Structure 1
């Protein structure tokens, strides 16, 4: 059974390296027969959070917000691809995520982080775990931490022969398997029993 997965990426920088990781994940999930779509926060272009999607009267939300809400509701799972900015999370991705709440409920999320250094975005990864849990997602235990990002992936989003590239290539199957297991579990539970609220 095919899974509908959204890969969400949030850098607004002009020389974005993390897009390589987002492309890598999107391609690898598609190769595993997932129905996968990359959602680029910069391309979506939501404003700084003023009102959440649910705070608009039906049919009056901005078109980009409405379209994304529809995609989130239709998804079976999510992958959040996030850089680390000064030990914290990427503001662009956080802003996009905060426009929604109930739309995220009852689906699993996986986190892939990156940075220019050897810490590989691990601190951002940890921060996102609590945030996504609070927003009603089941966060899978397998994570990807990629760094240095410029050494791990080439400009086409393919792993390099460096140690960082080989580590990513080796760790991806477990990451994807974990997400697939929780996606199947969540779909089966939603089909069997309505969410408690």
Structure 2
């Protein structure tokens, strides 16, 4: 069954390499039959958080926040693609996440982490789990770390090593299971 999945990408660096990983994720999930939207902070240009979406009077939030709120409310799950800056997620990702709250509730998240080195961003992914749980979109148990992202994919997101496809299929299957289970549960009602 097709799911509505949103990829949240968190880098705004001019030489960003992680966009290749985000494109890989987008392509793979689309090929699995899902409706996938990639949210790139360079396109949305959100200001540094001053006021959350929910703090605006109805109909007065900036247009880009309204678009994201509508997208998030329709989502069955989120894939967070994070770099690792000083062992933590990048500021652009945290800012993107923090503008919303209730729109994430009772939807799973899955973490794709990357780095230019050999650890694949796993330390940032570890920190991100706490944030995602607090936002109401706890992450699935598996993660998808990508070491040396600059060589892992071409600019279109095609992997240099076919092993990424096998690893991703298992990761995506787990996300699909959680997203479908929580979608069914949301339709029956939420705790509050």
Question: Normalising by structure 1, what TM-score?
Answer: 0.95
Superposed CA offset, 1:37-95 (max 9, x none): 10101211110000000000000000001110110011010000000001111110110
1:168 Cα offset (Å): 2.2
Do the aligned partners of 1:18 and 1:83 also contact (CA within 8 Å) in 2? yes
Q: What residue is the counterpart of 1:62 in the other structure?
A: 62
Do the aligned partners of 1:10 and 1:42 also contact (CA within 8 Å) in 2? no
Structure 1 ranges of 4+ moved more than 3 A = none
Q: Which has the higher contact order (CA 8 A, sep 6+)?
A: 2
SS at match of 1:36: strand
1:166 Cα offset (Å): 4.1
SS at match of 1:141: strand
**Structure 1 CA distance for aligned equivalents of residues 176 and 50 of structure 2:** 34
Q: What residue is the counterpart of 1:185 in the other structure?
A: 181
Do the aligned partners of 2:88 and 2:128 also contact (CA within 8 Å) in 1? no
1:123 Cα offset (Å): 0.4
Q: What residue is the counterpart of 2:191 in the other structure?
A: 196
Do the aligned partners of 1:42 and 1:92 also contact (CA within 8 Å) in 2? no
Is 2:143 the counterpart of 1:143? yes
**Structure 1 CA distance for aligned equivalents of residues 163 and 56 of structure 2:** 44
Give unmatched runs, 5+ long, in structure 2: none
Question: Normalising by structure 2, what TM-score?
Answer: 0.97
Give unmatched runs, 5+ long, in structure 1: none
SS at match of 2:58: coil
Q: How many residues align?
A: 192
For 1:45-124, what aligned pairs fall within 5 Å after superposition?
45-124=45-124
1:170 Cα offset (Å): 2.5
Q: What residue is the counterpart of 1:168 in the other structure?
A: 164
SS at match of 2:129: helix
**Structure 1 CA distance for aligned equivalents of residues 19 and 164 of structure 2:** 15
